[in-house]
Structure 1
Amino acid sequence: MNEGNIHIGATTPPSVAKLYQNQFEKDFSRFLQMRCMEIVPGGRMVLTVAGRKSKDVFNAGGTTTIFDLLSQGLRILVAEGRVAKEKLDSFNIPVYCPSADELTQLVQQCELLDISDIQLFEMDENRMHDSEQAEGTTAAHTAGQSMSATLRVATESLVASHFGEDILEEIFTVFARNFTSYIESEVEKSGITIITLYLQAKH
């Protein structure tokens, strides 16, 4: 249903995006219910999640870009015969980036918590890291390597279980190269939206 994509991309059918949305609503509602059982009366909870500023489910800013670049890398490996197309088409990263409105609605539906504050901020996905660059490398190359390492920490177990461990180095090497090219391009860059919810138990 989500051919050539591993997340909600530009060519993802609306029905797939809706499945992502429905699953998030189910999981997040359950998460709130379980956490409320652990909070003392009048207790507070702070949640920080990767989200999106746009109401458009297809536009999660920098998060969308990162997964699009990983999809692009996998399509390259499919074209080279390194990854089976069926493997790519059956793989979807289980991450959904909600909007602040969606989070607010789900908290209100839960009826166990009040929102005392909600804040949005952006992390610059193009940040040039503090680590020293190796001689002969560019800042964009360093950023590509760093972002690839960060993404690998978050997704390696998922990727390995689906595609096999022998392809890991190749997948994340291609991603690093793609991200470097993206940083060097003239396209307008988007940050990664972070949403923080300050919640208080009603009970």
Structure 2
Amino acid sequence: MDVARVLHANGGAKEITYAKNSSAQKQVLSLTKPFVEEALHDYFGGTHIPDKMVIADLGCSSGPNALIPASEIIDTVHGQCQKLGRRSPEFMVFLNDLPGNDFNDIFTSLQPDFFSKRREDEQCRVAGVPGSFYGRLFLSRSLHFVHSSSSLHWLSQIPSGLDAKNGPMQNKGNIYITKTSTKTVMNTYKQQFKTDFNLFLKSRAEEMVSGGRMLLTFMGRMFDDPTTKEGFNHHMEMIAQSLMNMVSEGIIPEEKVDCFNLPCYVACTEEVKDIVENEGSFVMNRLESMQVDVVDCEGDNVLLSRGERVARMVRAMLESILGYHFGMELMDDLFTRYVDVVNSYLQTANYKFTVFVLSLTRQ
């Protein structure tokens, strides 16, 4: 499976779009705003302020959240420059995501929602950069500030060795790591994350100026054991359960589930620390975790059951890759079953997931 081609959040105008079902990701942006401001204040605490500032938002997706980071970064820099009695730099903002992302939605919203809020003395240009951030995207030593939210838990590919084309199926009945997964499956996922995150850091190190800042937020886990039933893990088990219900009714062949593994990994803090320290290009200023309740929402979704809210959020993120493998015609059935499973689970539990906030400085 070509993950870079297949994986993308739902775009367009239908109800199950990322734009209409991303309030949890908006919560993450709100909670991490102080960390963005801290990184920028530290960066501009010195005497040098560049005449031109280049910002990259990696994994920007689409919808109303896509321009929030850029707006907040520009506003923070402008405020800091005013305090220092300096003129604000010109801004170049690069919005990056995989080629299947709905970039048209982003650029349609630029006028008037984005540029009308900019002050006359804030010169700002915005460009889209389609492509995987697991590799080079920008010119050498050109970026001053890199931001990424709710993206780095996605892998560049299905972990090597778990793709059915590369050998026997090793994670039968599962689509991610569970208690029934073998050590081989766990280690394969861990190694793929290590390879990808290391490449991400190396690529950004080549693209960033010395002293540049990077603020990353992505899903993680609180415990060393990757099979612990935390938010993300448990809900991937519930999707697998829904798929296996369809198998039992003859709707999906069992081997179709057995050969599917999500290209995603939620790491623990020690794994993240080890990769950053061993790669060596960045100083780690912060690595913190927070809990986000994905049942909290806004807009029309408040009228839905708690299970429907969660299912819409998950479907907006995963439908492209699940539909590619199992068939888009089965997605309504799958997520109807998933709603029932989630509603049952939420009768006795809350659905919170762990988010890591990682602040780095380019050495």
TM-score (norm 1): 0.90
1:76 counterpart = 2:237: no
Structure 2 residue runs without a partner (length 5+) = 1-169
Deviation track 1:45-82 (CA, whole Å, cap 9, x = no partner) reads 00111000101111261011110110100010000111
Whose Rg is larger? 2
In structure 1, the partner of 2:39 is none
Contact 1:33 1:110 (C-alpha < 8 Å) held by counterparts: yes
Task: Give the deviation of 1:191 after TM superposition.
Answer: 2.3
In 1, the alpha carbon distance for the partners of 2:241 and 2:218 equals 25
**Which amino acid letter does the alignment assign opposite residue 16 of structure 1?**
V
> Equivalent pairs: percent with the same residue?
29
In structure 2, the partner of 1:13 is 182
Aligned positions of 1:58-73 closer than 5 A: 58-59=227-228, 61-73=230-242
Task: Give the deviation of 1:130 after TM superposition.
Answer: 3.8
Contact 1:53 1:60 (C-alpha < 8 Å) held by counterparts: no
Question: Given the alignment, which residue of 142, 148, 160 partners 2:323?
Answer: 160
Structure 1 residue runs without a partner (length 5+) = 135-140
In 2, the alpha carbon distance for the partners of 1:38 and 1:145 equals 41
Q: 1:189 to 1:11 in 2, by over 3 A?
A: farther
Contact 1:52 1:99 (C-alpha < 8 Å) held by counterparts: yes
In structure 1, the partner of 2:297 is 129
Q: 1:190 to 1:180 in 2, by over 3 A?
A: closer
Give the secondary-structure state (helix, strand or coil) at the position aligned to 1:40: strand
In structure 2, the partner of 1:148 is 311
In 1, the alpha carbon distance for the partners of 2:292 and 2:272 equals 19
In 2, the alpha carbon distance for the partners of 1:97 and 1:60 equals 12
Q: 1:122 to 1:107 in 2, by over 3 A?
A: same
In structure 1, the partner of 2:203 is 34
Give the secondary-structure state (helix, strand or coil) at the position aligned to 1:50: strand
Give the secondary-structure state (helix, strand or coil) at the position aligned to 2:208: coil
Task: Give the deviation of 1:23 after TM superposition.
Answer: 0.5
Task: Give the deviation of 1:118 after TM superposition.
Answer: 1.2
Deviation track 1:113-134 (CA, whole Å, cap 9, x = no partner) reads 0101111001124x34344654
Task: Identify, as 1 or 2, the structure richer in helix.
Answer: 1
**Which amino acid letter does the alignment assign opposite residue 329 of structure 2?**
D
Deviation track 1:125-182 (CA, whole Å, cap 9, x = no partner) reads 4x34344654xxxxxx611111111111111111111111111111111111110111
Query: How many residues are treated as equivalent by the alignment?
Result: 193
In 2, the alpha carbon distance for the partners of 1:130 and 1:153 equals 16
Give the secondary-structure state (helix, strand or coil) at the position aligned to 2:187: helix
In structure 2, the partner of 1:137 is none
Contact 1:48 1:196 (C-alpha < 8 Å) held by counterparts: yes
Give the secondary-structure state (helix, strand or coil) at the position aligned to 2:271: helix
In structure 1, the partner of 2:361 is 200
1:24 counterpart = 2:193: yes
Task: Give the deviation of 1:14 after TM superposition.
Answer: 1.3
In 2, the alpha carbon distance for the partners of 1:3 and 1:47 equals 33
In 1, the alpha carbon distance for the partners of 2:291 and 2:229 equals 11
Task: Give the deviation of 1:193 after TM superposition.
Answer: 0.5
In 1, the alpha carbon distance for the partners of 2:237 and 2:299 equals 26
In 1, the alpha carbon distance for the partners of 2:260 and 2:341 equals 20
1:174 counterpart = 2:362: no
Aligned positions of 1:84-95 closer than 5 A: 84-95=253-264
TM-score (norm 2): 0.51
Task: Identify, as 1 or 2, the structure richer in strand.
Answer: 2
C-alpha RMSD of the superposition: 1.5
Contact 1:129 1:143 (C-alpha < 8 Å) held by counterparts: no
